[in-house]
Chain A
């Protein structure tokens, strides 16, 4: 399945994704950005590129047509020689706490959900919490409080706490999706939370 098909299936299951369009040319990209509204991000969409950032396939915070055109060329250049489906034009996400919401089908326990803080927290501190599906609301509360970095979600240093209701809804929805579609692995990474809600920046899954 292509990225756009993946996104479409998620939307069908009630996930709200950041507004996006797939552009096949510079002109299309400019048109898409106009419809979505600046600032936007551009992301290469290629079945041959897994880590988009590593190859220079992602440009963020693009604020006008001129920058967009330049960014588009850079991105296409970065994927030279590879099969390209197009370039994803996506609304810039809100600022806030980056979380990772993952799912997996464990050979013993079946579907389970994993919550972690994005970036170095997951990679270096292995700071994650997990629950076996199906989950109830109190499971999500516990997942949050079990994270060593949970003060960051509670609004450390004068920041407002993240919207727990949105977090709970998203994890429960993801859990539902995992089970309904019998997903093997899923990764909403990152999802940016603030006190108002959240933006799913990237999503992938496999069956």
Chain B
């Protein structure tokens, strides 16, 4: 397995790619994938493989992988299921780095015989195989992109530090599109489908070693081997945080209605238990994955005392409510901080936490208040409400928040609630690495998850 993961590193960062089933016909999978490489100006070699053609988009087309003269780091297969074992065998003979099988028609339709043959070839040759029945890998660093959804319909995220492992291609691709929309950067996207050869535990181990990856999102329907997954999560999560989204949770709910605890232990309860044991952060839906993942870039803190700044009293109260219900605490500002804060506030203002700068507050007041709370040793984390609708707030707030979010000492979440104008600001904030939320609850929930993980890391004795 170690050898396979070594080779997966090569296949996921290829300098030469063969596309079996490449096609000149628009909208065919083999066409979309080939054009991904051409459009992205893939810096390495691209080899279309299709016995019916000799040339495609000005590239020489080969009849089979073993006909290609040079080495092949990664082979993408998009031909009918029946043909795939033969192609995989040819890849093994060619000593290709690894194989991504996009084609469906294996275990999911009862053709375990085909899947079994693929597994035997892969195991015998130590050759990593991703899939089948998946979208394969997107790696913005090496420009590997086997996702057969056209880029004009599904945007690709910029390079970043988030890796995303997904069993489902549909969920995976939509999350990728959303990540691109919100300006989040990906290190690797791995859609692994049937997990015939490599499964989620292998990908976790692979990403633990991946130098571009710092945060891992895991979308899971059912693990191939639960025990192994638990061990892999324990091992990886202490080095790089894992945010898990488990689908198919309904069974547990039904089982929980029964009176015997034996029956209550439906399988989702087991997953939940495993996530908790590995200290993996569980998200409850796609939007929560985004809420959580974007704050994990912030500096860790082992404390739970939150300082709140707002320019709208009501939003401060909602934030304070969320802080209480999530089990965090409102920080008590130091005497020095309080004295300095008094100077910023208008005469009728009140120094308290939440700190209400009131609607008259300009960008300067935010800047000063942020700096004071960042310095106050009694404040572990900051939640900053900025209602962008007030007259004195202008675009300079972006730089102030970005500077604060990049302070490197305390985690910050910002909240801006509103319509079109506010949302356009939020997009800019996110692209500058400022965790921005459109509701107090979402912000505080994400902060709580992050503080919980930070505490776990602190207990492990690392920063």
Contacts and interface: CB of A to CB of B under 8 A. Distances in A.
Contact of B222 (A100, A108, A123, A185): A108
Given A108-B270, A132-B277, A100 B261 contact: yes
B459 to A, nearest CB: 10
B326 to A, nearest CB: 14
Given A106-B226, A109-B230, A128 B269 contact: yes
Interface string B270-294: 1111101100000000000000000
Given A114-B269, A123-B257, A126-B257, A109 B227 contact: yes
A126 B260 CA distance: 11
A110 B227 contact: yes
Contacts of A168: none
A109 B230 CA distance: 8
Contacts of A106: 226, 265, 267, 270
Contact of B261 (A102, A107, A132): A102
Nearest to B222: A108
Contacts of B227: 108-110, 132
A131 B276 CA distance: 8
Interface residue SS majority, chain B: helix
B interface, how many residues as a size bin?
A: 20 to 34
A107 B267 contact: yes
A189 interface: yes
Contacts of B277: 131-132, 139
A154 to B, nearest CB: 15
Interface residue SS majority, chain A: strand
A92 interface: no
Interface residues of A, number: 29
Nearest to A188: B261
B259 interface: yes
Interface string A86-124: 000000000000001111101111101011100000110
A114 B274 CA distance: 12
B419 interface: no
B253 interface: yes
Interface of A: 100-104, 106-110, 112, 114-116, 122-123, 126, 128-132, 139, 142, 146, 185-187, 189
Interface of B: 222-223, 225-227, 230, 253, 256-265, 267, 269-274, 276-277
Given A103-B261, A106-B267, A126-B256, 17 more contacts: A102-B261, A103-B262, A106-B270, A108-B222, A108-B227, A108-B267, A108-B270, A115-B261, A122-B256, A128-B269, A130-B265, A130-B269, A130-B272, A132-B230, A132-B273, A187-B261, A187-B262
